[in-house]
């Protein structure tokens, strides 16, 4: 589509024939942004699920007091903190100028997949109400899916991570 397309020198970003390398530098930052967004969304979903579990009553008690729900909340909180720490570590390395592609890929991979699991568990806690338009949980659940796709799918992030690991051993 762009064969033989002429671009004036003043419109060139970076060096000629180095566009893919430049894009690779930018992708690390955008992947970090996806990770941070995923953590923020997951935190909001967990707050909503916790409030629901604390106030929704079944069989004379809050549903959060049932182990099935309480254990889900505990797992969600643990995953959220792990995603948050991984994202903060990658962001710190970015600030220090030492972030690798693997650092950004791990943060994006874990945070976006944690968001998916957290929103799925939240929907389970909300039950049928979670799918109603009146509550925002359905939208969070639906929107969480795209985080695992843009700026490189989860499979691409795994490829980046594993290749870096193997490269250290000459493979």
Tokens (6 digits) for 28: 């690390």
Phi first, then psi, for residue 61 (nearest 5°) are -150, 165
Residues 29-75: tens digit of each pLDDT: 899 999 999 999 999 999 999 999 999 999 999 999 999 999 999 99
For residue 100, pLDDT beyond 90: yes
What is the model's pTM? 0.87
Query: For residues 162 and 101, is the Cβ–Cβ distance under 8 A?
Result: no
For residue 157, pLDDT beyond 80: yes
Tokens (6 digits) for 168: 């250290």
Question: Which of the pair, 118 or 13, is modelled with greater confidence?
Answer: 118
- Give the DSSP H/E element, type plus range, for residue 163: helix 154-167
Residues 110-138: tens digit of each pLDDT: 999 999 999 999 999 999 999 998 899 99
For residue 13, pLDDT beyond 80: no
| Rounded average pLDDT over 139-155 | 94
For residue 95, pLDDT beyond 90: yes
Q: What is the pLDDT of residue 25?
A: 66
Confidence of residue 166 (pLDDT cuts 50, 70, 90): very high
What integer best gives the mean pLDDT of the chain?
Answer: 93
- Give the DSSP H/E element, type plus range, for residue 81: helix 67-96
28-167 is a CATH 3.40.50.720 domain: no
Q: What is the pLDDT of residue 153?
A: 96
Burial of 108 (0-12, 13-18, 19+ CB in 10 A): buried
């Amino acid at each position: 589509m762009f064969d033989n397309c002429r671009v004036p020198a003043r419109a060139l970003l970076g060096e000629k024939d180095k566009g893919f390398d430049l894009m690779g530098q930018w992708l690390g930052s955008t992947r970090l942004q996806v990770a941070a967004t995923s953590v923020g969304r997951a935190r909001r979903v967990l707050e909503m699920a916790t409030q629901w579990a604390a106030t929704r009553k079944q069989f004379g008690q809050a549903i959060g007091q049932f182990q099935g729900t309480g254990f889900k909340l505990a797992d969600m909180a643990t995953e959220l903190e792990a995603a948050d720490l991984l994202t903060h570590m990658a962001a710190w390395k970015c600030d220090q100028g030492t972030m690798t592609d693997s650092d950004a890929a791990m943060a994006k991979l874990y945070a976006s997949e944690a968001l998916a699991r957290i929103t799925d568990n939240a929907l389970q806690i909300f039950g049928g109400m979670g799918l109603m338009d009146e509550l925002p949980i359905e939208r969070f659940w639906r929107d969480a899916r795209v985080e695992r796709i843009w700026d490189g799918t989860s499979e691409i992030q795994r490829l980046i991570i594993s290749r870096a690991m193997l490269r250290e051993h000459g493979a």
